[in-house]
Amino acid sequence: MILTTAPIDIVVGVVLYWIGIGLAGLVRPLSLRFISRVLFPLGAMGGLVLMAAALLGIPAAPATRVLPLGLPDLPFHIRLDALSAFFIGLLGVAVVGISLFSTGYFRRGQGTAPGLLCLQYHLFLAAMVTVLLADDAYLFMVAWETMAITSYFLVTSSHKIPEIRSAGFLYLLIAHIGAIAILLCFGVLQGGRGDYTFAAMRESELSAFWSSAAFMLALFGFGAKAGILPLHVWLPEAHPAAPSPISALMSGVMLKTAIYGMLRVTFDLLQTQLWWWGALALALGLLTAVFGVMFAAVQTDMKRLLAYSSIENIGVILAGIGLTIIFHAYGNPHLAALSLVATLYHSLNHACFKSLLFLATGSVLHATHERSLGKLGGLIRNMPWVAVTALIGSLAIAGLPPLNGFVSEWLLLQAFLFSPGLANPYLNMLVPVAAAALVLAAALSGYVMVKFYGVIFLGQYREARLAEARDEGPWARAGLVWLSAACVLLGVLPVGVILLLDHVTLPLVNFAIGTSAARTGWLLIAPVSPERASYGPLLFLLGITGTVLLTFALVRRLYHGRVRRGDAWDCGFPAQNARMQDTAEGFGQPIKQIFEPFFRIRRHLPSPFDAQPFYSATSEDRLWYWLYLPVARLNERLAAWIGILQHGRIYLYLLYSFVTLLALLMFVR
């Protein structure tokens, strides 16, 4: 039956299904058993269906529907084309894992009642799908705001804690500032004709100035949601505040809706693309990437670390969008398609591995009640499932072959390095620099992941009570394994994904690289030509697996079982304890030293005579002091000036109206 229904109707069905599940949560709002054992797995089924719909919808021709909802004479329009189907598929993959994990995650007595949480969660999912489906500005904004508000309530689900409330407020504030910019962007796009359907926006002919205005507004508005510098401040606050599955959903999926919006406006709704938009996006993206990874390197809270890592990945994706615009504007469709494929691929990868890692932190948090890296360690012994899946996620995010992170970063670097003389000499000079910055970000992200994984899972317990930590139950394991499997498969079988992505790039940049990339069969991808660069992920996997197994066997055979004698001189280490191993602070120290001007560091150094010495150092974001606090102060000062008008004396208020009336009568004839 599912094969005869149009994909767009399946997607609409899933939206309604999720809303239904959310409402079902209100039937028995306090029964955790019913909600987590029945409703969340049912929600995960919706994700599976969406994946199927996406696989059917990507190659199919765009389908449109007019829904009998909305205001009179202003119905909702929806449309499923390859781009939205791709992002819906991305959402489906991530949601299956996250919903399965959530089944075992939510506990009793943590802020919001489970039924309400279930409603918010599923409405959030439905709103994200609707954003991807919307074909008019009206439905898009309604869904976008629903997404912002439901996620706000999810972030503040432990609303009794003041820090969480203020983190939620910051998130809501920036989300609304962004939404205003998006609304204005649609206002510019409709070109003064008053028709807010996307179909009409594609037809409208805008001048270069207004096109640029629309692009800048979209960059700002969607950038606020995605966490692009300098609008990133809410990410490191909101992610640690939210429950882990929610962080996974927001970082893995919601940030991608902003990427979707940016692509939709830039390549679909706008008819012309100027090269300097691309240069701007590229510069902003690389700045964001390097900034994010630098801050990730010095974090000591595991969820903040992942939040900064999300900023880095969004920066990489934005750089990919910028590169696509540059190539597209200079009429180089092959490379434009290549960098667009890399961008989309990286979005999909990030959805998988970042969700996986956030879920893993959720498991660690539940098992140990500890978020600070300084108090974790050695958990691989107690939590093998979480440790192995988190290892896969860490390797993937660090961009190591044969996992998925490598494929997209490699493709993006190919796009950078194959740029053979654009028509603009300055760009020609700058693109290699940009490639270097991208490599810097990628390398540092590897460093960050070594720190993340090593400090949490390896070494010895830093606290005695960590020995009592327990591994996750079967539901959460299923979610973790699902997402790690996605990371592996996306890494090993890139050709299939690229062939599917052809349907997305073809309408957007009028070119598809799939056939040329797959010309040497499904084992090897060669995006430009096999002579220049190619990559066979499966061979890598086999090679690495073979080497590891061989080494394991050899070590086992040659090294173990022999007689060893203890040394007389232990090099000063007669016993090794947890305080001797490298801490998160210590591991991040080199980065802190090298990039010191970028941080605002506050240190407390103990004096030699202190009876109870302690050391503390916090690295803060300078942008907070340079940009946000001045804006907040300006706002307060303006409010104080306006407050001068308020006296509480009625005759003065009357005088204001009187003077206004007289002025209007005198001057506005």
Partner 1 sequence: MPFSAQLINLMAALLLLIAFAMLSQRRILSLIYLFAWQGAVLAANSVIVAWSTGQTHLYYSALLTLALKAIILPWILHRLIIRLNIKWDVETLINIPTTMLVGIALVVISFNLALPVTQLAGTITRGTLGIAIAMVLLSFLMMITRRKAVPQVIGFLAMENGLFFAATSTTYGMPMVVELGIALDVLVGMLILGIFFFQVREAFDSLDLKHMEKLREE
Contact positions toward partner 1, by CB under 8 A? Answer: 643, 646-651, 654-655, 657-658, 661-662, 665-666, 669
> Which residues have C-beta within 8 Å of that of residue 88, sequence separation ≥ 6?
11, 50, 53, 54, 57, 80, 129, 132, 133
**Of residues 160 and 649, the one with the C-beta less far from partner 1:** 649
- Minimum CB distance to partner 1, residue 652 (Å): 8
Angle at 620 between CA 461 and CA 230, to 5 degrees: 120
**Of residues 568 and 644, the one with the C-beta less far from partner 1:** 644
**Of residues 606 and 643, the one with the C-beta less far from partner 1:** 643
**Of residues 611 and 666, the one with the C-beta less far from partner 1:** 666
**Of residues 554 and 661, the one with the C-beta less far from partner 1:** 661
- Minimum CB distance to partner 1, residue 162 (Å): 23
- Minimum CB distance to partner 1, residue 25 (Å): 41
270 phi, psi to nearest 5 deg? -90, 140
**Of residues 208 and 665, the one with the C-beta less far from partner 1:** 665
**How far is it between the farthest Cα atoms of the chain?**
106
How far is 85 from 79, CA to CA, in rounded Å?
A: 10
- Tokens representing 117? 């949480």
- Minimum CB distance to partner 1, residue 661 (Å): 7
- Minimum CB distance to partner 1, residue 629 (Å): 23
How far is 252 from 348, CA to CA, in rounded Å?
A: 9
- Minimum CB distance to partner 1, residue 667 (Å): 11
| CB contact at 8 A, 246 and 158 | no
For residue 202, give the amino acid letter.
R
> 């709002």: which residue's tokens?
29
- Minimum CB distance to partner 1, residue 660 (Å): 11
**Within a 10 A sphere around the Cβ of 71, how many other Cβ atoms?**
8
**Of residues 1 and 665, the one with the C-beta less far from partner 1:** 665
- Tokens representing 336? 């434009």
| CB contact at 8 A, 8 and 54 | no
Reported for 44-47, long-range contacts at CB under 8 A and 24+ positions apart, including other chains, are: 44/95, 44/96, 44/99, 44/100, 44/103, 46/14, 46/17, 46/18, 46/21, 46/95, 46/125, 47/91, 47/92, 47/93, 47/94, 47/95, 47/96, 47/99
**Of residues 71 and 644, the one with the C-beta less far from partner 1:** 644
- Minimum CB distance to partner 1, residue 646 (Å): 6
Q: Which of 153, 160, 166, 149 is nearest to 118 (CA)?
A: 153
**Of residues 590 and 643, the one with the C-beta less far from partner 1:** 643
453 phi, psi to nearest 5 deg? -75, -45
How far is 292 from 295, CA to CA, in rounded Å?
A: 5
- Minimum CB distance to partner 1, residue 637 (Å): 16
- Minimum CB distance to partner 1, residue 170 (Å): 24
**Of residues 568 and 640, the one with the C-beta less far from partner 1:** 640
Helices (H), 371-520: 384-397, 404-417, 425-457, 474-492, 494-509, 514-517
Q: Which of 8, 124, 127, 7 is nearest to 66 (CA)?
A: 8
